[in-house]
């Protein structure tokens, strides 16, 4: 019989990830702050629970996919949280992008209750979550990773065990540097091309076929062509990640000058009220600057 899984956090990424677990044949218990996604998942065959504690009490393995470190810490260690419902033998997998230091704090608290934890942030955006092609970056002990691997394979395509708990989080932060800088470079390039009178579709085609091609270019091309930036991954969330990156850089003594500049551009984008847009919308700030607005 398949393990009973729990999933907490049914946002842009969490909802399709949970659906892929249902498609994989796993019994699923879900909880989220918003009623709509819970109703969607229960209609697809999941059961709902009124709190993180109630989910935890019913499952063998629990996944969280939440916006930020305080959200995960509250769900894990707060009232009616995971710790209160934890039982020996439970496996807890946090797939959020949070501070690795917070991950280690939660792991220590849960380990006292006999819980094994993995940190397993993802990359691939909403499209990767829907298609089950996410890159999953995992930290934690190897035997636990091996047990969870089939579950990861229901949600992702590239699954890598990177070392002890926290290694997944640090790898995701490295990933977020590359994505933020890439999207900013794309924004600059496409703004230059448009000011030069070039056709955007043809420009993207040419760039995608050479060394400048990237997954960012491929996935965000529809946004650039339609000039609409509905969120696959919000500016606000990537700005949060940039803050975690800069904190980690200071703690580890690593200078991150390019990342610091991109962080300020994302801050300016949020100041213009665009934090809810897709992170590829950094191009709109660069277009504003190029037009003098």
Which is nearest to 166 in space by CA: 108, 233, 207, 90?
Answer: 108
CATH number, domain containing residue 30: 3.40.50.720
Q: 149 and 78 share a domain?
A: yes
Q: 134 and 178 share a domain?
A: no
Count of the separate structural domains present in the chain: 2
Q: 47 and 148 share a domain?
A: yes
142 tagged catalytic? no
Q: 134 and 179 share a domain?
A: no
Q: Provide the domain limits for residue 247.
A: 170-291
Is 60 exceeded by the pLDDT of residue 7?
yes
pLDDT, tens only, 27-84: 999 999 999 999 999 999 999 999 999 999 999 999 999 999 999 999 999 999 999 9
Is 90 exceeded by the pLDDT of residue 292?
no
Q: 133 and 209 share a domain?
A: no
Q: Give the whole-number percent of the chain exceeding pLDDT 90.
A: 98
Domain boundary among 164, 181, 209: 164
Instruction: Name the active-site residue from 19, 53, 116, 172.
Output: 172
Q: 135 and 244 share a domain?
A: no
* pLDDT tier for residue 260 given thresholds of 50, 70 and 90: very high
pTM (2 d.p.)? 0.92
pLDDT, tens only, 274-283: 999 999 999 9
Q: Which residues pair with 31 in a beta bridge?
A: 8
Contact 90, 61 (CB under 8 A): yes
Q: 88 and 217 share a domain?
A: no
Q: 143 and 265 share a domain?
A: no
pLDDT, tens only, 107-138: 999 999 999 999 999 999 999 999 999 999 99
CATH number, domain containing residue 274: 1.10.1040.10
């Amino acid at each position: 019989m398949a393990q009973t899984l729990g999933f907490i956090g049914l946002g842009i990424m969490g909802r399709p990830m949970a659906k892929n677990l249902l498609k994989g044949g796993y019994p699923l218990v879900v909880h989220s702050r918003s009623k709509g996604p819970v109703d969607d998942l229960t209609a697809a065959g999941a059961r709902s629970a009124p709190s993180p504690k109630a989910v935890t009490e019913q499952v063998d393995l629990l996944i969280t996919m939440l916006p930020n470190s305080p959200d995960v810490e509250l769900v894990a260690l707060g009232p009616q949280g995971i710790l209160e419902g934890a039982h020996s033998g439970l496996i807890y997998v946090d797939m959020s992008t949070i501070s690795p230091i917070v991950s280690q704090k939660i792991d220590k608290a849960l380990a006292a209750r006999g819980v094994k934890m993995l940190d397993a942030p993802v990359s691939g955006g909403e499209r990767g979550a829907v298609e089950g092609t996410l890159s999953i970056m995992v930290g934690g002990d190897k035997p636990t990773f091996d047990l969870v691997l089939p579950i990861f394979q229901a949600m992702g395509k590239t699954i890598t065990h990177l070392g002890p708990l926290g290694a997944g989080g640090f790898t995701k932060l490295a990933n977020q540097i590359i994505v933020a800088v890439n999207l900013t470079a794309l924004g600059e390039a496409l703004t230059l091309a448009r000011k030069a009178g070039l056709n955007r579709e043809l420009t993207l085609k040419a760039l995608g076929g050479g060394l400048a091609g990237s997954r960012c270019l491929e996935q965000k091309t529809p946004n650039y062509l339609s000039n609409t930036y509905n969120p696959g991954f919000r500016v606000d969330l990537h700005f949060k990640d940039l803050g975690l990156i800069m904190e980690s850089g200071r703690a580890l003594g690593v200078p991150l000058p390019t990342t610091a500049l991109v962080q300020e551009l994302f801050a300016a984008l949020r100041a213009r009220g665009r934090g809810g847009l897709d992170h590829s919308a950094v191009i709109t700030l660069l277009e504003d600057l190029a037009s003098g607005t």
